[in-house]
């Protein structure tokens, strides 16, 4: 008689186990999504570049013998942890006769050394910039994802 009045607890336990299983699956999917979301350094570079404010202010610099008149505008970005590094390099380049834009910051982990990006027709001008910086900068073709300083030569500094 007692068994007729008491409902079976098996369906309640089964429902609880199903909810627990679904929760575990969703936790696993969330962990996987979080763990793999930062594995694309190219995407990180694009995101970092979109955060960098571009400046239209140009500094007037006289052209000297060390910088040819056809050298494009330079954009100096600090991608390192040294505060004021881009401003210091900008001043050095201006003193060498290069025309520079306002210095900026670039938050990226994919650039680990001083780098000068150039377009196909800017390689010799980029080499002049590298020579003016002491030759310790890497010269690399501009990645298509690097959209900052579209008409100039980006100079990304990490160390002095």
Same-domain pairing of 51 and 30: no
What's the confidence (pLDDT) of residue 160? 80
Same-domain pairing of 104 and 138: yes
In angstroms, rounded to a whole number, what is the distance separating the alpha carbons of residues 137 and 156? 9
Task: Write the DSSP symbol of residue 148.
Answer: S
Same-domain pairing of 59 and 111: yes
The first and second tokens of residue 149, run together, are 């300083």
* Alpha-carbon distances of 7 from 15, 19, 109, 159, rounded to whole Å: 15, 21, 61, 74
Indicate the pLDDT class of residue 63, thresholds 50, 70 and 90.
Answer: very low
Same-domain pairing of 77 and 152: yes
What's the whole-number average pLDDT of the chain? 78
In angstroms, rounded to a whole number, what is the distance separating the alpha carbons of residues 7 and 92? 85
> Furthest-apart CA pair in the chain: how many Å?
107
Domain that holds residue 28: 2-36
- CB 83, CB 122: distance < 8 Å: no
Phi, psi of 74 (to 5 degrees): -105, 140
Higher pLDDT among residues 38 and 128, named by residue: 128
- pLDDT tens digits for 102-152? 999 988 888 889 999 999 898 999 999 999 888 788 899 999 888 888 889
Q: How many domains does the chain have?
A: 2
| Whether pLDDT at 51 is above 90 | no
**Global model pTM greater than 0.75:** no
């Amino acid at each position: 008689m007692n068994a007729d009045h008491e409902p079976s607890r098996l369906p309640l336990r089964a429902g609880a186990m199903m909810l627990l299983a679904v929760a575990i699956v969703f936790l696993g999917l969330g962990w996987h999504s979080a763990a793999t979301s930062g594995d694309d350094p190219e995407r990180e570079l694009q995101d970092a570049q979109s955060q960098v404010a571009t400046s239209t202010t140009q500094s007037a610099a006289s052209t000297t013998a060390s910088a040819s008149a056809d050298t494009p505008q330079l954009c100096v970005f600090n991608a390192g942890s040294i505060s004021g590094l881009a401003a210091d390099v900008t001043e050095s380049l201006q003193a060498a006769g290069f025309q520079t834009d306002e210095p900026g910051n670039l938050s990226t982990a994919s650039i680990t050394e001083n780098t000068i990006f150039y377009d196909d027709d800017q390689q010799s001008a980029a080499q002049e910039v590298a020579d003016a910086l002491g030759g310790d900068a890497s010269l690399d073709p501009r990645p298509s994802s690097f959209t900052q300083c579209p008409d100039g030569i980006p100079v990304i500094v990490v160390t002095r």
